[in-house]
Amino acid sequence: MAAVTKEGHLKLAVPDIDEVSARWLRPADARWLLVLAHGAGAGMNHPFLEKLALELASVDIATFRYQFPYMEQHRRVPDSPPVLTSTVRAAVRAANDTAPDLPILAGGKSMGGRMTSHAAAEHPPEFEPVRGVVFFGFPLHPPGRPGTKRAEHLAHVSTPMLFLQGTRDQFADLKLLRPVCANLGKRATLHEFHTADHSFHMLKSSGKTDAEVMRELAQAVRAWADSLPQSESA
């Protein structure tokens, strides 16, 4: 695992709302910074994000994780979209202030990724440094209710997007997501994980362990990031 030069907890001020917790992890040879949001049902300290942050560090990607206000306040129901996107913007701004030397990516697990793309679609000044948006399981629709309405805003996201999706993900029928990505053209890259579910758990028949998939997720992000236009990571 990569050596870590900076690690710690901090408070993130969300304008007109409250302070939320954040965690910062920077490997010694960091080339990128990923502002990483959690999903709807678990906060930034969920084992998935803990393991993901370490795997990303191993491929020289620093992470800035943060809580949404409802999770900080131990509430079960997510905040309204305006509150969620305001928190995303505050996190991107704080991450950029924390590591102004690193090119920035932004995204998250499930709802966190979707709210990041909504914030990006609004084109706030905070997103000008963001080179790309990463989805760790884009929640295209609720389980059993296929549809593409949740993807309509992606047409207004001007930055490149990476979709990391399991083929057993009940929140995203790939028969619907593949055309969505195709319609986004060169802005969208879809990386499929055969037999992975929404949490990237694998079937034994895949021949891969969950740990191997976590490593592949990190490697896919690094390879994609290095392919982005005007990269300053090398």
The DSSP string of 214-233 is HHHHHHHHHHHHHTSTT---
Work out the percent of the chain whose per-residue pLDDT is above 70: 96
Q: What's the whole-number average pLDDT of the chain?
A: 93
The Cα-based distances of 90 to 12, 41, 57, 79 in angstroms read 7, 21, 23, 15
The Cα-based distances of 60 to 56, 134, 217 in angstroms read 6, 16, 13
Q: Does CATH number 3.40.50.1820 belong to domain 4-226?
A: yes
Q: Give the model's pLDDT for residue 5.
A: 65
Nearest to 64 by CA among 18, 108, 33: 33
Confidence band for 231, pLDDT divided at 50, 70 and 90: very low
Statement: residue 139 has pLDDT above 80:
yes
In degrees rounded to 5, what are phi and psi of residue 82?
Answer: -60, -40
- pTM, two decimals, is 0.94
Q: Give the model's pLDDT for residue 233.
A: 42
Residue type, 126: E
Burial of 136 (0-12, 13-18, 19+ CB in 10 A): buried
Three-class SS of residue 21?
strand
Asked if residues 165 and 142 have their Cβ atoms less than 8 Å apart, the reply is: no
Residue type, 221: V
Asked if residues 89 and 126 have their Cβ atoms less than 8 Å apart, the reply is: yes
Interacting residues of 1 by C-beta distance below 8 A, sequence separation 6+: 54, 57, 58
Asked if residues 33 and 39 have their Cβ atoms less than 8 Å apart, the reply is: no
Statement: residue 219 has pLDDT above 70:
yes
Three-class SS of residue 64?
strand
pLDDT, tens only, 62-81: 999 999 999 999 999 999 99
pLDDT, tens only, 1-47: 455 567 888 899 998 888 999 999 999 999 999 999 999 999 999 99
Q: How far apart are CA 145 and CA 139, in angstroms?
A: 11
Statement: residue 55 has pLDDT above 90:
yes
pLDDT, tens only, 83-138: 999 999 999 999 999 999 999 999 999 999 999 999 999 998 889 999 999 999 99
Length, in residues, of the chain: 234
Asked if residues 60 and 132 have their Cβ atoms less than 8 Å apart, the reply is: no
Statement: residue 232 has pLDDT above 80:
no
